Amino acid sequence: MRSWSRAHALGRGDAPACRGGTIGLWQRVGELSACAVPPIRTGTLSAWARVLFACPLMSAAALLRVPGSLLPRAGSGCWCRRFWAASGETAAAASPGSGARSPFDRQLKRKQKNWAALQPEPAKYDYLREEVGGRVADRVFDITRTFPLALDVGCGSGYIAQYLNKETVEKLFQVDMAENALKNTMETEIPTVSVVADEEFLPFKEDTFDLVVSSLSLHWVNDLPRAFREIHQVLKPDGVFIGAMFGGETLYELRCSLQLAELEREGGFSPHVSPFTHVSDLGHLLGGAGFNTLTVDTDEIQVNYPGMFEIMEDLKGMGESNCSWNRKPILHRETMLAAAAIYQEMYGSNDGSVPATFQIYYMIGWKFQESQARPAQRGSATVSFGDLAKINALISRKK
């Protein structure tokens, strides 16, 4: 488990100590020059989805497959055009609704993320995302190959891209549902294109990308199996998906404190922390989407805060406020004060701070190709694991 204090992690703008340094330079979108843009798959965008490009020098043939009248004017700097879904299924999915298959209000989540990106100092709340983004990038570096075209799903301000280099990824497409986050993307040496789209409806054709990454975004998706299928579909054969998302033990201290306070003050409780996927389900979901050679591991990051209210302030600044349909709209002042006291009493440290635990699931899955290595058939082994205990004796005999 990695642990650091909020004051150290923030430095009111600094990244966590394990990464170090501050991100002082920002860019809207990486510059592109005569790079090919993957063709957009029609009929798979929600009604509000838009595509935002900052590539004024690209030729018309290199842009989307749209009429010439829709192409950007020379020197315009960027292009923003609305694409309406041709599919009735997709249009229906964009409308508000609740239920077992739609636990989250996606429109509210989009507003929360856009609000967070417009704050005067949004970078001071990015310490957790930057840390996890670096760990995802480390897993990309573990694969000894160069990826010509990569996709970052739910990129935010580019928390993964800032750690990548041209030797690993040649071109990167960044997708997020919040357009304001894409306007504040961090500086990177990789040419990038920003696309405003829903993670559940990726607007790219099949077999497009060599690598897909995602960091701390998929836990807000209503239909996670579909999102995994979308990612699998846009990957090329032998392409790899590397992702990270919050796990079920995330913020368990906050959840317990709020529930106990509500039970004591109001005689019942409502969910104030959004539901998360269990680690045992990830392997089945990835396998069901078509991925093979799966790797799923968990980690915990613990951050120390002055109190419960500072935790909630930072969650709001991250754009991680609750957006469940069954959320309680308000919490009474007495209940909040009681929850803060319970939090301090149950989990408080000797120095007066309180911890907040973030459980992270990391996942790796590959799209099948004939040339990939396959596991040996069951029963084909020539040595038993029981013989391993005798290996020292066998080696000494040979000597």
Q: Could you count the other beta carbons within 10 Å of the beta carbon of residue 290?
A: 16
- What is the structure's pLDDT at 66? 36
Identify the weakest region by mean pLDDT among 73-82, 117-126, 165-174. Answer: 73-82
For CA atoms 250, 256, 262, 267, the dihedral sign is: positive
Residue 21's pLDDT band (cuts 50, 70, 90): very low
Question: 71-81 in b/e burial notation, b at 16+ Cβ within 10 A?
Answer: bbeeeeeebee
More confident residue, 378 or 169: 169
Asked if 51 and 83 touch (Cβ cutoff 8 Å), the reply is: yes
pLDDT of 273 over the 90 cut: no
pLDDT at 265: 85
C-alpha count within 13 angstroms, C-beta hemisphere, residue 354: 23
Asked if 281 and 179 count as a contact pair (C-beta separation under 8 A), the reply is: no
pLDDT of residue 398: 65
Residue 387: which pLDDT band, with cuts at 50, 70 and 90? confident
Answer whether 196's CB lies under 8 Å from 177's CB: yes
Does residue 81 register a pLDDT over 70? no
| C-alpha–C-alpha distance, residues 368 and 236, integer Å | 9
